[in-house]
Structure 1
């Protein structure tokens, strides 16, 4: 098929991105006599200092940690002061503005080529069963009257007894045995994953009610996290999405599986009541001390050696901007996202801050299967935020299209994110032929 619609728009935005990037370079070159080179030099030194400062803050204690905090905060401030003092602020501002335009146009171009998870009309369930955690999210079930609202819509509600450790999976299986034709959960992502696994096992639709604290899964489904009761609209007029379901050692996960530093931290009993304090207290020992373990992993044949942390996600995450919350544009790509980190010094941290994904300290890739090993019979693993101990090696895979998710037709937060920014791809979009595939993706 010939290039049209989204393809033409993607090409135009890609060309604008290249023009703006070239403009940023031209501004610096023309300002050479006024210190264009100094703008680049100060910026690079600021990034290096900021990266080193963050490392000292998280990996050390006492006066070194305080010094690191001062450096991390002070470096960008000092760069701005130098720009003003040397009369370079207008050059820096122009170059930064053009680079920001280049990034915005590049992301818009990539976003136009990105296929989205598509839904189809779904029949109304006749015997829906919803499990609700009354304490999840600080009591959202009661605050939004989710039990009453669900019952009005014909659902049977099982309110979890939080005074005991109930087997949520067993409750879901019992509901299926009693004739449920839909399973749903009002709770956190860990509980969502357990019931999602049962729903996928029995090929039943699954309803997500974002009544947890963070609700990352609901975020990427485009659900309204500010009002979880709106998810119940799917019971009377919803559409069905076929999405992937992660599997770690036979247990389902909907978001992420974490190995290494974060998994070690969440195992600590004090973490739930003091997350930041617990993390800051533990990280020096985990990053540079004897308490930290090193992980090896094999992802579709690629070997990751001596990693401090490995994060495996159900579909890859991307960030809309440098400060944006990472999200998944799709949940049906059929691939795991894999992120490995190995940073053992301030110099390596500075290199990571400067070069990002090009730094050897960071590995970003996709895979269909990853096996994580360590020099131990079992290792701590955080599965959708839940702390577990699993025997090694730990294998993560993906079950493409295994989960039928019922969502409302009106979803206010459907993500429109671009793939990871690669300038080679922008050049191809700008000057190559583009064609629309049957899946809706524009290819160059």
Structure 2
């Protein structure tokens, strides 16, 4: 009897093809619904009005950020009024539900299409190593709104044999000195329960001495913990690594000898957070400074150099320890891998309304440069520029050289942890179309073997 050989991963490939087809069917339905309800002319009019609203909203958003005074308030009025005007026009023609259904179908198409193109994340190789005998953990009681106290992290860590030091609430403690002193006294693991900035300082020292590093997700956002696959909702679960843990090797970012675990930012954002008024009034300070910063009337002009690629005057640059997901140009989300041996580099150049509108094309816009490379250089004619390193505001002299340090850090993580989510794929409609039209390979048939052998 003939048998079929189903190759590994074949069911997943079939699911991906059908998801791609569903995505295209959803797009067709999104355009078919207005045609069926409002006719060809009505549907074209709806599309033109919607696109006009989108353009007006993006332009108004740019004017609001890049100007002050009367222009800003007129832009604010347009920003609110344009969508309301479109909603009113659709309501008068009883087409609000049609627009809602079409938008819902387009959102469905996008979500299903990304799922079809998504690839599972391959986790870094785990190494089973003996538990540490003299772990040393620095904890910041103020981080994350007081998670150290809320989850009794100090008491739990001490019960597991760790030496714990609580940072001074005034913020005057020299974290690097504490970590180096612990190494001199024989610590065989360094850990941090606090923000990413504190983690970066101690991670650099752990890497320099080839010691394992423990991350306890007690910060506010815990980006590094997220990308390590740790439990951000229960920081105490991270302490399981002390008794039942494994080690993974991850990369570190380096900015002129300064370690970063997440990213270094240059330009507009870094300049805003340098302001003395920022912490008291974040939104007000940003709105007051943005017009001059976006027009580059204040501060030195930056230049980004990555290999042969040169960006002459970007307003914002983000250099990350491994690239972020394809839809996250702000660096606020997820890095699916931390061991690719590459920096993620994103530069944004928006100096006009036309450039702002080009952002609608996403990463294909000429206003956005997205690269991945082992090194990047930021220049400003030797001037000192504001830099944000893992959330810490600094003022550094240029040129500034960023590089990746492949697998420089040993991280000890719990053996049982949530893990890293699947990578979010770019919504490439050409690739999605090829996937939707593919039919797969015919199953191979194997000839029946001889019978009666004995």
* TM-score, shorter chain, exceeding 0.5: yes
Does 1:83 pair with 2:90?
A: yes
Kindly report which structure 2 residues correspond to 1:116-135, keeping only aligned pairs within 5 A, or say none. 116-117=123-124, 119-135=126-142
Stretch of structure 1 that moved more, 420-429 or 294-303: 420-429
Does 1:166 pair with 2:185?
A: no
The 1:198–1:11 alpha-carbon spacing in structure 2 relative to 1, beyond 3 Å, is farther
Deviation readout 1:222-275 (Å, 9 max, x if unpaired):
333333222112212123232221111111111111000111112222223322
**Aligned residue in 2 for 1:190:** 197
Deviation readout 1:267-320 (Å, 9 max, x if unpaired):
222223322222122112211262144211112322212101111111222277
Deviation readout 1:299-343 (Å, 9 max, x if unpaired):
232221210111111122227799996222222222222211111
The 1:315–1:432 alpha-carbon spacing in structure 2 relative to 1, beyond 3 Å, is farther
Instruction: Select 2:317's aligned residue among 310, 314, 336.
Output: 310
SS of equivalent to 1:257: strand
The 1:249–1:322 alpha-carbon spacing in structure 2 relative to 1, beyond 3 Å, is closer
- 1:169–1:195 Cα contact (<8 Å) kept: yes
TM-score (norm 2): 0.87
- 1:263–1:387 Cα contact (<8 Å) kept: yes
RMSD, matched Cα? 2.8
User: How far is 1:185 from its partner?
Assistant: 0.4
Distance 1:370 1:323 in 2: 18
- 2:35–2:42 Cα contact (<8 Å) kept: no
**Aligned residue in 2 for 1:399:** 405
- 1:315–1:332 Cα contact (<8 Å) kept: yes
Does 1:147 pair with 2:151?
A: no
Distance 1:421 1:334 in 2: 25
Deviation readout 1:79-101 (Å, 9 max, x if unpaired):
23222323433443343232222
User: How far is 1:4 from its partner?
Assistant: 1.9
Kindly report which structure 2 residues correspond to 1:16-415, keeping only aligned pairs within 5 A, or say none. 16-27=22-33, 32-117=39-124, 119-163=126-170, 165-288=172-295, 290-318=297-325, 326-352=333-359, 354-412=360-418, 414-415=420-421
The count of corresponding residues between Structure 1 and Structure 2 is: 434
Deviation readout 1:51-102 (Å, 9 max, x if unpaired):
1121122222233222222222332233232223234334433432322221
User: How far is 1:168 from its partner?
Assistant: 1.8
Gaps of 5+ in 1: 436-444
TM-score (norm 1): 0.89
User: How far is 1:201 from its partner?
Assistant: 1.8
Distance 1:279 1:263 in 2: 11
The 1:301–1:389 alpha-carbon spacing in structure 2 relative to 1, beyond 3 Å, is same
Deviation readout 1:20-67 (Å, 9 max, x if unpaired):
334434446666525221222122112111111211222222332222
SS of equivalent to 2:193: strand
User: How far is 1:174 from its partner?
Assistant: 2.2
The 1:433–1:302 alpha-carbon spacing in structure 2 relative to 1, beyond 3 Å, is farther
- 1:181–1:205 Cα contact (<8 Å) kept: yes
- 2:119–2:425 Cα contact (<8 Å) kept: no
SS of equivalent to 1:298: strand
Stretch of structure 1 that moved more, 134-143 or 273-282: 134-143
- 2:246–2:413 Cα contact (<8 Å) kept: yes
Gaps of 5+ in 2: 1-6, 442-454
